[in-house]
Structure 1
Amino acid sequence: MKAVWYSQNGEARDVLVFGELPTPEPKAGEVRVKLHTSGVNPSDVKSRKARPVQDPEIIPNSDGAGVIDAIGDGVSSARLGERVWVWNGQWQRPWGTTCEFITLPEAQAVRLPDHIDDAAGACMGIPGLTAMQAVLLAGDLAGDLTGKTVLVTGASSAVGHYIAQMATLAGAHVIGTVGSQAKALHAKEAGVRDIIFYKTESVPQRIQAITQGRGVDCIIDMDFSTTTDYIAQGVLKAHGTVVCYGSNNAGVVPVTFRPLLWGSINLKFFLVYDLLPKDRERCVARLTELLERQQLRHSIGQRFSLAQTVQAHECVEAGQTIGQVVIDLS
């Protein structure tokens, strides 16, 4: 099969190789998916640059969509020919989705409704599941989101775009931070009611103005290293909730303790790759419902061929594209 892989960490154009690898065969309990698309996420490029390489070939990217074309023992033959999207394709496994075929446990291949195209399917693994888990946790911890104010940091990102839609569907008043006018328009289309330009405006001051000094009920956060300062400045009301799925500073993040204690603030962190089975099942079920009802907008940014995987990774690293970067495999 045609594939792109690397054997050492480094810059995309220095380490990614385009060529032929053996086509995998499914083992017991597995399916093989003929991939049509591969989604590229920031964690994919970070892994290529820094995650220790422990196998001869690492095929990057965890997300994708395609058709089940072979099954292992114990898998129903009814799944043959089923359109699916996949999750954790390259999590704790060497071969991900920048290739023509992937084998993985059948639970990791989720039915894709007929009216959802393969590009949108490649958005479900990391962006879709992260957004769904974040919004579900916000509801669990803060109560019903109807009438609640939710600050979404990075509201124009691939994940943030889905979070804004899902929180709006759950009845929240969504406030979003963005970095440009183009990204503001993108966030508005997802249901964000109030935009804050974090590069030129004071986020705490704008939140105080929007909420008439009360603060928001919940922050769904992609950058805890910045958000911890917001909390100290009164962005979050007492007994509010922070749901965090990332940080630009992944090392030590200083926090101001007193506002957290005196505000009885709830902190909830999660890693989308490592959801508990019951949480994953709930997220997948809810995502499937939204897809079947056509209640989500899917934003596809630039698209590349498999041979252009270097450019796709560099595009994600540049951080200027609005929408999901997708590699087309067929």
Structure 2
Amino acid sequence: MKAITYKTNGPADVMALSDRPVPTPGEGEVRVAVRVSGVNPTDWKSRQYSTPQSDQVPNQDGSGVIDAVGPGVPDARIGERVWLWEAAWGRADGTAQEYVTLPARQAVPLPEHASFDLGASLGIPALTAHRTLTVADGGPERLAPGALAGRTVLVAGGAGAVGNAAIQLARWAGATVITTVSGPEKGELAKAAGARHVVDYRAQDAAAEIRRIAPDGVNIVVEVAPAANAALDAAVVAPDAVVAFYAEDSDTVQVPARPSMLVNVRWQGVLVYTVPAVAKDHAVAAVAAAVADGAIGVGEAAGLPLHRFPLARTGDAHDAVQQSAIGKVLIDVAP
């Protein structure tokens, strides 16, 4: 089978197209014929900075069809359309290959109405978004329709992959969604994702506009740039709010201490790979339910334009993500 592998860390050209044996699923595993592989920032960062222990296949997310199962997995799962999460976390086998084996729980049923493109776009972005929306005091632990009713959510960077997923999941859960963007093009994408209010922070006084929309403050902030936005977040949060940050734009963040203390704001870091297992289970179940409800989409109409590459150009796909392509970067592994 064809696979992308690398043996040392470094730039995209350390990766190469190679031939590998088709793997056999072990105990509790399934084998998936991969259709589409999704690329996330952590994929190129892992390749750039982490030394692989063996021939490493990149990419955490993907979609495809189960074509074999290992001992302990029902044969009924053969032929099932699935989306994959964390395929390469702590393992040498990511989704940039024609077949991948992984624990059965990491291959989640994908309804017929959901495309393989959508399946490959879930994983890290949607599970991260779910975690940011469920760390507030009082929960909910798992999103569902109405779970965030009466809450106001501020999504920083609503045109990004996690921001897009957060908007769609928060809207599905009944929240009022505000998002900040850096220009009209991204604003249109955030609206397409379902944000009720879009604030262009380069053209508007973001704090004043958010306070006008939500005079009592926002309950949850989904934050992509905590260092740059700390003062803004502190200015717009409601009492007992949470600022859930899932990326870093600096090694340090200067949290406005007194404003945060006065209203009991919590600053919560989120790394999806290391969240508690029960939180991961809640996230997978909720994302699967949102997909089943048709509440999550991809493509321009859903605010997440797609950028496609063939398997042989996985390096170009990684570079596109590193260069902050607007939308979702996908690799077509099989027709």
TM-score (norm 2): 0.90
CA-to-aligned-CA distance 1:198-227 (integer Å, 9 cap, x gap): 344443233233334x43222111222223
Verify the 8 A CA contact 2:137 2:240 in the aligned structure 1: no
Deviation at 1:154, TM superposition (A): 1.0
Identical residues among aligned pairs (%):
38
Q: CA separation of 1:89/1:165 partners in 2, compared to 1, >3 Å: closer, same or farther? A: same
Return 292-301 or 97-106, whichever deviates more: 292-301
The counterpart of 1:157, out of the listed 140, 160, 164, is: 160
1:1-330 equivalences under 5 Å are 1-12=1-12, 14-51=13-50, 53-138=51-136, 140-141=138-139, 145-212=148-215, 214-232=216-234, 234-249=235-250, 251-299=251-299, 300-321=305-326, 323-330=327-334
Deviation at 1:56, TM superposition (A): 2.7
Deviation at 1:176, TM superposition (A): 0.5
Match of 2:302 in 1: none
Verify the 8 A CA contact 2:135 2:242 in the aligned structure 1: no
Q: CA separation of 1:97/1:265 partners in 2, compared to 1, >3 Å: closer, same or farther? A: same
TM-score (norm 1): 0.92
Q: C-alpha distance in 1, partners of 2:232/2:139?
A: 20
Query: Which structure 2 segments of 5+ residues have no match?
Result: 142-146, 300-304
Deviation at 1:155, TM superposition (A): 0.7
Q: CA separation of 1:231/1:186 partners in 2, compared to 1, >3 Å: closer, same or farther? A: closer
Q: C-alpha distance in 2, partners of 1:277/1:49?
A: 27
Q: C-alpha distance in 2, partners of 1:240/1:275?
A: 20
Deviation at 1:80, TM superposition (A): 1.2
SS state at 2:185 partner: helix
| One-letter amino acid of the structure 1 residue matched with residue 158 of structure 2 | A
SS state at 2:243 partner: strand
CA-to-aligned-CA distance 1:230-281 (integer Å, 9 cap, x gap): 244x1212222212222222x2323232222222112332211123222222
Verify the 8 A CA contact 1:133 1:279 in the aligned structure 2: yes
Q: C-alpha distance in 1, partners of 2:5/2:230?
A: 37
CA-to-aligned-CA distance 1:78-124 (integer Å, 9 cap, x gap): 11111111111111112211111111111111111111111110012
Q: How large is the Cα RMSD of the aligned pairs? A: 1.9
| One-letter amino acid of the structure 1 residue matched with residue 188 of structure 2 | L
Aligned pairs, number: 324
Deviation at 1:22, TM superposition (A): 2.6
Return 75-84 or 275-284, whichever deviates more: 275-284
